[in-house]
Amino acid sequence: MRFDVITLFPELFAPFLEAGVARRAYASGQIELKLWNPRDWAEGNYRRVDDRPFGGGPGMVMLAEPLARCLAAIRADRADVAGQAAPVLLFSPIGEVLRHAAVEAWAGDARGAILVCGRYEGIDQRFIDAHVDQQVSLGDFVLSGGEIAALALLDAIARLQPGVLHDAGSHQADSFNPAVDGLLDCPHYTRPEEWGGQRVPAELLSGHHAHIERWRRDQRLTLTARHRPELIAAARAAGRLAAQDEAVLARVADAQAP
């Protein structure tokens, strides 16, 4: 799959392509990433890509025309990718918050996407209205640009590609994954068996796989109930909680009761 990124700062993506497990997705060709600077499609000696906002106010607004020309060049370059037009995503505070289900959908979409990284006070609304198919947010906070959000999405997609993680099942136990019923992940431990006066839980040292899996399930339930109770409600509504799970949650509720 192919992702094209419209960004004024393509250099921010270089370290991401050269380090960490995500690089395997790019080195193997599973994900093709192309970076496009709208300044290359701007006019004038200064290649201007922004201007003052109409109506006054602080900051600058990205011009629609260089973005539109850049997007047209991407469309022409992508003419044969997956046989259909790729959606255009803009990272924006008004977008739907990115969640695991959306990442899984993007990871399996052969079209990839065109990612637009805004800067300054934002992008001329006319470009958004004419060309953006979907807006995406990382949460209720504001970044200085869309590049960090784009990197987050690309990393999440890359690690779901076959072979990127050494163990093909590694991501199946991740937080929010349907394989663990959308719950948070359990705690993890490694050597030594005792550190700082604390020992690794006995269940993990027992060698009894059924006991280990039950301990992990109980921990997922406990952590999720304490920190993200809405995920418990969603799992319950979907019929994913067994009687033993409910018994664990009842104990957690009793422990939290005043």
Query: Which residues are identified as catalytic?
Result: 93, 121, 159, 174
What Rg do the C-alpha atoms of the chain give, in angstroms? Answer: 23
Q: Can you tell me the distance from the alpha carbon of 121 to that of 52, in angstroms, rounded to the nearest whole number?
A: 10
- Whole-Å CA distances, 126 to 31, 100, 106: 31, 30, 26
- Kindly report the length of the chain: 258
User: For the chain, where are the alpha helices, taking DSSP H only?
Assistant: 14-18, 23-27, 64-77, 100-107, 125-131, 147-158, 202-205, 209-227, 229-237, 243-256
Looking at residue 167, its amino acid is: D
- Whole-Å CA distances, 43 to 46, 65, 128: 8, 9, 20
